[in-house]
A and B are shown apart, each in its own frame.
Chain A
Amino acid sequence: MTGYIFKRLLQMTLVLWVVSVIVFLMMSFTGDPVFMVVPIDATDAEIAQARRLLGLDQSLFVQYGRFVTSLVQGDFGNSYVFRQPAMALILERLPATLEMVLVAMALALVVAIPLGVYAGANPNSRISRTIMAGSLLGISLPGFWVGMVLIFLFAVHWGIFPSSGRGDTAEIFGLRVSLLTADGWHHIILPAVTLSLATMAILLRMTRAGMMEVNRQDFMKFARAKGATRRDVLYKHGLKNALIPVITIFGLQLGDLIAFATITETIFSWPGMGKLLIDSIYRADRPVIVVYLMLVALIFVVINFLVDIIYTLIDPRITLK
């Protein structure tokens, strides 16, 4: 077990290193950030001065060395736009993004699993076909467009839900969380629904495929031959087995939700790190983009690690090596 964790930590570090190289290289090709810090009427001398101060005049290798050194020290530099530590900016907005992603994931699971089990157990019924067509529609939808349609219907037209912002938040453990206030829930529903649709559809399809696969297995028939009810056979014997492939993509889906949160946050003006990222891309605010990328990479790597642990909890055949 210790050996396994050590190996995984090594792998995770390797991935993060590769990501840092890619991020660094990509950042080196984006628009010249020096113009973000100097006044519009700056002279050539002032620009050169700023360039030196930012270290942009040195070779790529030297720049990368300094880049990694500061990353390791947790120093990502100041945002060119906000003139504050980029790390703090992102962390301040992280809870808003996470709570939206978590609500969306919960919503997706609650809807997807029962419907997926049903559709997998009765592949030929009319209801199953409807569910599957609906889920296919779900993965065919442009997520941002759904958000807009929801805004138009529920905010502009009927005025049931607010169209933007996060609403009231309450503070817990120093984090501002909107899930603790009614107003917060009122604000989170539309963005969370928008974000969850694609994931919901994919999880549903995976659950169904897993269920159909499991249904062909002898032990399902053996369980029925024991006299178990159909429901017990499906949920007690089938679901757990069917969930194994679902768990594999669960981590990927969580990653997708974080990625698509950038778009959802932009539409709903949700003050999360995704919206900050898009704003920073427009403004070539390099440090913020770097923090976002490295943080998201870290989150993905940790999620993948956790998924592997969950695997072993569900499947006794898998041992961590």
Chain B
Amino acid sequence: MTEAAKQPLLDVHDLRTHFHTFGGTVKAVNGVSFDIAEGEVMGLVGESGGGKSVVGFSILGLIDSPGKIEGGQILLDGEDLVKAGEARLREIRGREISMVFQDPMTSLNPLHSVGRQMDEVLRLHSDLDAQARHSACVEMLESVGISRATERLRAYPHQFSGGMRQRVVIAIALLARPRLIIADEPTTALDVTIQSQILKLMRRQIAEKGASMILVTHDLAVVSEMADRITVLYCGNVVERGRARELIEAPAHPYTRGLIDSIPDPSNRHERLKQIPGTVPDIRNLPQGCNFRDRCPRAQALCAEIEPKLSAQRGSLSAACHFPLNPGESA
């Protein structure tokens, strides 16, 4: 069976989410397309301000004014979530698609016990009675590595450490056995040592439950460990995508190259860390042509005139670049 024949679990097509503010329209997501197959982990990568989180919130229909989904489709099993009503979206949230937020310190309600916040998901999405819900919560809490679960259910978030809270958040996200989990920078706010524990936990849980995951992060090191495929966003557009291994080893887009080069190499501590020169342009008035050209060492006259379209490159890679890199070539 070929890849193309299998219907993807989620198919995002030409998604455009804009924010209308005093300074002008911020096109945070401006024509993003990608898909995720059943059981797949997709890394959504880019610098901060690149519109990654907005993609996640758009999928769940959680874009608040002044933001608005201006166009495109988000197909879950062929059902367009952009057109779905609020009632239908509520059924989907937590049940079909759940979310893990960036900062575990703020994503739990400080005034409700952990048990109550877990129980809420089951009350919303299952017919279990109180007893059954309680044991499901205990079981889930144990499976994310929290001991003395019965006791901990009565505790409040402030009694947990950051890493523990993120485990609770993950437990909540997994509780209703969703098919897709959107993890928005799930480890960014955590200590480095805790980060890998949480990543391992997530990978194991996803695999066990056969769920898919969109891993939103600025950290290519994290996705290279976790993801099957990677989509790189820049200024609200997809600039490159492909299989994780190929993309990390020999990216075609200079921006991806820059991101990879800025990963610190533990074996070479004396080498100066490379950085992508310049900053993300003001997303309210993007220049004509390629958005990356001001920071790109390969930019030529053509790049200032015509915006490159995403096109097939070597192997599984597609990139939006007039002058893509060859394997081994540096930016």
Within 8 Å of chain B (Cβ to Cβ): is A110?
Answer: no
Give every chain B residue within 8 A of A229 (Cβ-Cβ): 90
Number of A-B contacts (CB under 8 A): 71
Asked, given contacts A226-B120, A317-B158, whether A218 binds B101 with beta carbons under 8 Å apart, the answer is: yes
A-side interface residues, number (CB < 8 Å): 21
- The chain A residue sitting closest to B93, CB to CB, is A227
Within 8 A of B (CB), among A184-233: 217-219, 221-230
In contact, A315 and B124 (Cβ under 8 angstroms): no
In contact, B111 and A222 (Cβ under 8 angstroms): no
Give every chain B residue within 8 A of A314 (Cβ-Cβ): 111
Q: How far is the CB of B1 from chain A (nearest CB, A)?
A: 33
The distance in angstroms between the C-alpha atoms of A316 and B158, with both chains bound, is: 8
Give every chain B residue within 8 A of A222 (Cβ-Cβ): 99, 101, 107-108, 169, 172
Q: Which of B90, B101, B111 has the most CB of A within 10 A?
A: B111
Within 8 Å of chain B (Cβ to Cβ): is A240?
Answer: yes
Within 8 Å of chain A (Cβ to Cβ): is B285?
Answer: no
- The chain B residue sitting closest to A221, CB to CB, is B62
Within 8 A of A (CB), among B21-78: 57, 60, 62, 65
Q: Which of A222, A237, A315, A316 has the most CB of B within 10 A?
A: A222
Asked, given contacts A227-B124, A316-B111, whether A219 binds B60 with beta carbons under 8 Å apart, the answer is: no
Q: How far is the CB of B172 from chain A (nearest CB, A)?
A: 7
Give the residue of B101, B125, B172 whose beta carbon is less than 8 angstroms from that of A221: B101
| A residues whose Cβ falls under 8 Å from a Cβ of B | 124, 217-219, 221-230, 237, 240-241, 314-317
Asked, given contacts A221-B101, A317-B156, whether A226 binds B121 with beta carbons under 8 Å apart, the answer is: yes
Give every chain A residue within 8 A of B86 (Cβ-Cβ): 230
The distance in angstroms between the C-alpha atoms of A316 and B111, with both chains bound, is: 6
Render B259-281 as a binary contact track against A, CB cut-off 8 A, 1 for contact. Answer: 00000000000000000000000
The distance in angstroms between the C-alpha atoms of A44 and B7, with both chains bound, is: 109
In contact, B107 and A219 (Cβ under 8 angstroms): yes
Render B90-107 as a binary contact track against A, CB cut-off 8 A, 1 for contact. Answer: 111111001101110011
Q: How far is the CB of A85 from chain B (nearest CB, A)?
A: 47
Give every chain A residue within 8 A of B111 (Cβ-Cβ): 240-241, 314-316
The distance in angstroms between the C-alpha atoms of A314 and B110, with both chains bound, is: 10
Q: How far is the CB of A231 from chain B (nearest CB, A)?
A: 11
- The chain B residue sitting closest to A226, CB to CB, is B94
Give the residue of B60, B65, B106 whose beta carbon is less than 8 angstroms from that of A225: B60
The distance in angstroms between the C-alpha atoms of A218 and B92, with both chains bound, is: 19
The distance in angstroms between the C-alpha atoms of A286 and B86, with both chains bound, is: 66
- The chain A residue sitting closest to B91, CB to CB, is A227
Within 8 Å of chain A (Cβ to Cβ): is B20?
Answer: no
A–B complex contacts, Cβ < 8 Å, 6 sampled: A221-B62, A222-B172, A226-B120, A227-B92, A227-B94, A228-B124
Known A218-B107, A226-B124; 7 more pairs at CB < 8 Å: A124-B65, A218-B103, A219-B107, A227-B90, A229-B90, A314-B111, A316-B113
